[in-house]
Structure 1
């Protein structure tokens, strides 16, 4: 069903890379033959007339600020790229970046893309077990990190043989290379690699329902593929000249990197960053201080802001547009934001594998409280049944994208069979259930598999179970979700202890800390319960499905009475 008038189609064809014709009435996203995540962002504005425009403003924890123009980023990333090439980094090599919201992350990305190297993103939320897995699985040859983080990690990591160089920002350790030494000029002119749109650029790891997280490979075309929908969920305002952008979402993940940082630079806007721990009151004051006009925030962050007393909203806030995704945004939170901040809030939906399928653009159509929005143009998004057929209006089915969707990833890193398992005929299944009403709005109904969606993060039960089983007290573990009004779901761990180990509150806390430390802080079980035995499937496996159903029923009894 068409969601756009002819006038709206005209606006989108004039301001984005969307085209409409009789063969693709839902719209077609035009992708160039050559693309590069550095040249298509900072490279566009590091030229006469715009090179002195502020591109990045980094606020340190002490309140001091470092500023970079587009010319600064271009010059310094050229130096770093030349140095990396001098040290043997070439097209297709994997370089892991682990420097959080710091300028080194931006410079590292730009430099690697100039070389055609593949950036492996590493979050500061990852524990040593997760970092070790990513470094080993990706075969990264270079790790770029920062001193205060590296000092706490280096003794806990078994460094894979593939890693031949560690670069540490702020380090004086002679056993590693300092980032500052990379940012020094070499003789001669640097010439970047020319990359095709389908050349690999980014390797991001995300959880699945089985095993350790899988690497998802994206190409340089991804920013072009995202461009129309990014314009829409920023309410068609990115073409204006006065945008100042910020996100508290991790630059190691799609939301921070591809939904704000790089799109803002593609349009020549200033990006603000800070490593300050998120707090609702601080976030509002930070946005006032830096004149932020556009932001991407996960729903969990928005819920924190909406818990504030409206009277505490600081004067001087110039925020105009919030976009959000990763989990459903509660209707009450949306109403609070619109009423007390005076902003437009556009929600969108997608996966790292295939993204921006459904969402809102209030400049073109009205958002409905509690709805995910409508199918975005440029995507053939449908709701299908188990046989891969579209379901009637009002019936629940699985959200699916066309297997040739322009935002589709290149595949799971070195796991082609798992990539192919996503495809069902002409469709790519998402694992998310929804229904669609007569006006084309989608309404989320939950997950079709075991994956836990907590505060916008995807957590695979198996990785948490594996981490718990690595603790000397644990014999068996099953990890399941529990509904939660604030986070959507929380991680619950049911644990059978080894013989002779006594259950205690202290042990619960110890196991929670173990998962936080070894895996990631956002993946730890907020509830740990000790059990004597588990229900089993006919094949002798722990029945997560039965446990999850019992957990949900118990929650509903306690919540609804």
Structure 2
């Protein structure tokens, strides 16, 4: 694979002794387009100098109130002000805490209290959501005019951003990252977009910038690489509106979360003119990859990571063909292993782990030393995912807590979900283990059908039997109107497991 940003000629991390992420994002020609804001009313081009001026204004105001190390919330949708808020916080050596506007009161309250946030940079909508949880500063009016603000003299290990996990496997924890985290994302971001930074590249995602997938898979890497990033948050993802936006804004590179891809596939929306499409968060499966080739005229590049250590493996259509069912190969700078219970390389399925030294790896969980220690096994950070090697490719089997044990077989739900999603009547689904006195667990599928579809459960069972191992078909199928989802669009299997357990107890 050709050279990747953040990696030196020997394939090692190229990280200076002093590093500030705000400088990385703003160290470009002043007149270069940094962000293209798209709204219903207008399209606004924000240059590097204009973005820097906004960040400086906020940095001056914040410096009068807080010291380095303070945690400052950012409750803003995709916008230049959202980027400027994070840059201002990093510029003074403080720690930014991304917050979702889709969070309800209790979710905001728990994160603000846990992080010790006193000030939140936001807008009118966000201020209403906050109430009295923290002091709300309207980002577009809070700045103070003056001379440029110097970058704080920070190093790669100095704390910069506190990102809370999505809570798919327990109470959300704050993953604290240092200033090296942006560099840590660059190789995989570049690879997943077929070497991002080509002439004419322009990057966008429908994902909110409060999620690590929006902020560090798209917004900040684009700024660091000098690639214009489009800010156009959709209140509700609409496949046709998405196609129009991509055409009107001249978008060439897109990160689509799997949920968005499923909606595009369901509507059979084809989008031309793209140079790269990346996806991560859940495995896609062969059917989705094949549809992507027809719909976009290119290979969807899957990548892998999590809040604690993101973007560590990827496919790259410009360098090698994807292997269906796998999430790609380890990217330069990240060493990945599949370990058995003793911590040795597994023969077959095991625990996916990343070796210490990855620049994308968290410093630790915020104020949770015991949870941090439990995350590691020697030099390896355990992802909590199960996987196996298929040559150089990594296959995701499922979350460790999601793996189903049935009649002595260990069954990953992802493969069954992928198979069900190939049925033309299935819109989305979630597969879990349901307690069973004979088999320990049985496979149960919760299925949302497409509008107007009328397939029966027996037909879906036969569909899986004909395509997967005979022991892995769903012995129970329940049709539902919707599935529990995180704000990032992942199915919350723990809620489905709890529901299945309650059914057994009745």
Q: Contact 1:384–1:400 (CA<8 Å) still a contact in 2?
A: yes
Determine the structure 2 residue equivalent to 1:107.
84
Unmatched segments (≥5 aa) in structure 1? 1-7, 22-26, 169-178, 453-481, 495-511, 530-542, 552-561
Q: Offset of 1:362 from its aligned partner? A: 1.8
Are 2:385 and 1:427 aligned?
no
Q: Offset of 1:492 from its aligned partner? A: 12
Determine the structure 2 residue equivalent to 1:44.
27
Determine the structure 1 residue equivalent to 2:75.
98
**CA distance in 2: counterparts of 1:282 and 1:108, whole angstroms:** 28
Are 2:202 and 1:270 aligned?
no
Counterparts in 2 of 1:525 and 1:31: CA distance versus 1, 3 Å: closer
Q: Contact 1:434–1:444 (CA<8 Å) still a contact in 2?
A: yes
Deviations 1:76-95 (A, max 9, x none): 21111112112x12211111
Q: Offset of 1:340 from its aligned partner? A: 2.5
Determine the structure 1 residue equivalent to 2:304.
349
Match of 1:375 among 330, 348, 356: 330
Match of 1:409 among 328, 342, 362: 362
Match of 1:54 among 33, 43, 47: 33
Q: Offset of 1:262 from its aligned partner? A: 0.8
SS of corresponding position for 1:287:
helix
Determine the structure 1 residue equivalent to 2:396.
444
SS of corresponding position for 2:323:
coil
TM-score (norm 2): 0.79
SS of corresponding position for 2:23:
coil
Q: Offset of 1:132 from its aligned partner? A: 0.3
**CA distance in 2: counterparts of 1:217 and 1:352, whole angstroms:** 10
Q: Contact 2:168–2:494 (CA<8 Å) still a contact in 1?
A: no
Match of 1:145 among 118, 122, 143: 122
Q: How many residues align?
A: 440
**CA distance in 1: counterparts of 2:294 and 2:402, whole angstroms:** 37
Equivalent positions of 1:284-433 (< 5 A) are 284-309=243-268, 313=270, 317-392=272-347, 395-433=348-386
Deviations 1:273-308 (A, max 9, x none): 123221111111100001100111111111111223
Q: Contact 1:299–1:329 (CA<8 Å) still a contact in 2?
A: yes
Counterparts in 2 of 1:18 and 1:100: CA distance versus 1, 3 Å: same
Q: Offset of 1:431 from its aligned partner? A: 1.3
Determine the structure 2 residue equivalent to 1:84.
62
Q: Which moved more, 1:287-296 or 1:269-278?
A: 269-278
SS of corresponding position for 2:24:
coil
TM-score (norm 1): 0.72
**CA distance in 2: counterparts of 1:528 and 1:35, whole angstroms:** 41
**CA distance in 2: counterparts of 1:262 and 1:76, whole angstroms:** 16
Q: Contact 1:53–1:70 (CA<8 Å) still a contact in 2?
A: yes
**CA distance in 1: counterparts of 2:343 and 2:502, whole angstroms:** 26
Determine the structure 2 residue equivalent to 1:235.
194
SS of corresponding position for 1:229:
helix
Counterparts in 2 of 1:195 and 1:152: CA distance versus 1, 3 Å: closer
CA RMSD for the aligned pairs?
3.2
**CA distance in 2: counterparts of 1:139 and 1:387, whole angstroms:** 38
Match of 2:214 among 250, 256, 267: 256
Deviations 1:403-437 (A, max 9, x none): 33332101100001100111112221111111212
Determine the structure 2 residue equivalent to 1:223.
182
Q: Contact 1:490–1:525 (CA<8 Å) still a contact in 2?
A: no
**CA distance in 1: counterparts of 2:360 and 2:265, whole angstroms:** 32
Larger radius of gyration: 1
Counterparts in 2 of 1:20 and 1:52: CA distance versus 1, 3 Å: closer
Match of 1:166 among 120, 133, 136: 136
SS of corresponding position for 1:40:
helix
Counterparts in 2 of 1:374 and 1:192: CA distance versus 1, 3 Å: closer
**CA distance in 1: counterparts of 2:252 and 2:318, whole angstroms:** 16
**CA distance in 2: counterparts of 1:400 and 1:549, whole angstroms:** 34
**CA distance in 1: counterparts of 2:337 and 2:494, whole angstroms:** 36
Deviations 1:359-396 (A, max 9, x none): 2112222111221112222222111111111012xx11
Q: Contact 1:492–1:528 (CA<8 Å) still a contact in 2?
A: no
Match of 2:501 among 547, 550, 556: 547
Q: Contact 2:108–2:130 (CA<8 Å) still a contact in 1?
A: no
SS of corresponding position for 1:28:
coil
Counterparts in 2 of 1:93 and 1:153: CA distance versus 1, 3 Å: closer
Q: Offset of 1:72 from its aligned partner? A: 0.3
SS of corresponding position for 1:332:
helix
Determine the structure 1 residue equivalent to 2:430.
489
Q: Offset of 1:69 from its aligned partner? A: 0.7
Counterparts in 2 of 1:223 and 1:341: CA distance versus 1, 3 Å: same
**CA distance in 2: counterparts of 1:440 and 1:353, whole angstroms:** 23
SS of corresponding position for 1:355:
strand
SS of corresponding position for 1:74:
helix
Q: Offset of 1:441 from its aligned partner? A: 1.6
Q: Offset of 1:237 from its aligned partner? A: 3.4
Determine the structure 2 residue equivalent to 1:63.
41
SS of corresponding position for 1:195:
coil
Q: Contact 2:189–2:196 (CA<8 Å) still a contact in 1?
A: no
Q: Contact 2:430–2:493 (CA<8 Å) still a contact in 1?
A: no
Counterparts in 2 of 1:492 and 1:110: CA distance versus 1, 3 Å: farther
Q: Contact 2:282–2:490 (CA<8 Å) still a contact in 1?
A: no
